[in-house]
Structure 1
């Protein structure tokens, strides 16, 4: 479950085209990252996949079902944690299952403990650090029943140390649960470290410029970031971005 197929999507706002013949796939249990310049339509793409918007042309398929304009098919984590301030952490992470009528309190508590948030079950979001709130937001996505999780730059507001810790934590919990993930980032190192494949977008109107398959075995640890092979891949993807995109990095 969690196979996504984007087939020749077009989207414009008035006379301003945003997406032009966008097509790619995410396989079951795969971690795919999207790299592209600011304003290249990444958020629009997520809104289309999530059913908030409908494409002007083209189709979106999830596990063989066309989901154009259909909400509730995916789980989504935005740049900011978007936890409900009046709900405890436990009630926040159980929200998706609660909406779908599928609540497993024991699993929620287990994942909270795995995330290093044991003791904060009854705390409120204002009592947590940025990294802790992002962990809670991702647990909420994991506990939602949808087979595909879309992550929109979830670590962009974190400092470098916290960001690396969150990347390692995300990999550890993803490798255990193996949900399909579509991850948007502006950080090339982050994309290489996390992903099975990286999709590079052009400037608007955006299309898939290139797709890179990352060869590093799993599990991965931070020592990988210091290897010559990792640096070589960083250079390759940077060059693949092209001159029209590199100025954004």
Structure 2
């Protein structure tokens, strides 16, 4: 269980304080896949950094299984838009990272992940030999190595072409359905948010706060062209249009 209560994040600025997030309240149960969508600057990435333990200067609380998140840990995996692979390491070594492939348990886990992310046969390939989608699959596998309780994904498919992006969404769902790792997925793509998420969290402009949480009660795999999908997409789109029309607060204003 990831529980966020009254979370407010303020950045210092020359013209005064900038309130990035205000009074975020959200509970995400174990094994849930939740997507976040909102205009640029609404604090989605900031929220993920706090959940990852990469930023501890905030008001309110955020806990994982009842324990405060006080810093990075193996319980939380993070995936960014860029794969950030080591170019001098092979696929299997990038997945193992600082763990030794001489360890039988590590080798076994790396092998499982290579199968899971559909990279069988590319174990000895280097990042320069991979496509963008393949490189991102390596990054996902690396984040899953130590079986984190929560996987935090910050627009991981944003730099990919439409075909590769759709393929990667299918791969991610395969991974989630296999491991049932709790996932928080930030995106700017409305279709992606509805296609992946069991819930879609729609955020207002800065200071970012939750406008609405839309449940997506559709079975997987989802048909994007089907009427049920389009109906829920319409609900999310209408809420998002209201967000886009809302006035943006003064960035120098206090809470």
When normalised by structure 1's length, the TM-score is 0.90
User: CA 1:123/1:39 → structure 2, altered by over 3 Å: closer, same or farther?
Assistant: same
Query: 2:152: which partner in 1?
Result: 150
SS of residue paired to 2:166: helix
Which of 37, 41, 44 is the matching residue for 1:42? 44
1:244–1:199 Cα change, 3 Å: closer
When structure 1 is superposed on structure 2, of 141-150 and 183-192 the one drifting more is 141-150
Could you say what the CA RMSD is over the residues aligned between the two structures, in angstroms?
Answer: 1.9
1:193 and 1:126 map into 2 onto residues whose CA distance is 30
Paired residue for 2:215? 213
User: What is the CA-CA distance between 1:31 and the residue it aligns to?
Assistant: 0.3
CA distance in 1, matches of 2:158, 2:104: 31
Match of 2:72 in 1: 71
For residues 110 and 156 of structure 1, what CA distance do their matches in structure 2 show?
Answer: 26
In structure 1, runs of 5+ residues without a counterpart are none
Contact 2:23 2:209 (8 Å CA) reproduced: yes
Query: Secondary structure, in 3 states, of the residue corresponding to 2:224?
Result: helix
Matched, 1:114 2:116: yes
Q: Assess, with a 3 A threshold, how the Cα gap between structure 1 residues 102 and 234 changes in structure 2: closer, same or farther.
A: farther
Runs of 4+ in 1 over 6 A off after TM superposition: none
Find the partner of 1:20 among 19, 22, 35. Answer: 22
Tell whether 2:89 aligns with 1:87: yes
C-alpha separation in 2, matches of 1:62 and 1:103 = 27
Residue 237 to residue 199, structure 1, CA distance change in 2 (3 Å): same
Pick which of 24-33 and 116-125 moved more. 116-125
TM-score, structure 2 as length reference: 0.88
Within the candidate set 8, 11, 16, 2:9 is matched to 11
1:238–1:246 CA contact under 8 A, matched in 2: no
Q: Which whole-Å CA distance do the structure 1 matches of 2:98 and 2:22 have between them?
A: 32
Q: Could you tell me how far apart the structure 1 residues matched to 2:178 and 2:11 are?
A: 40
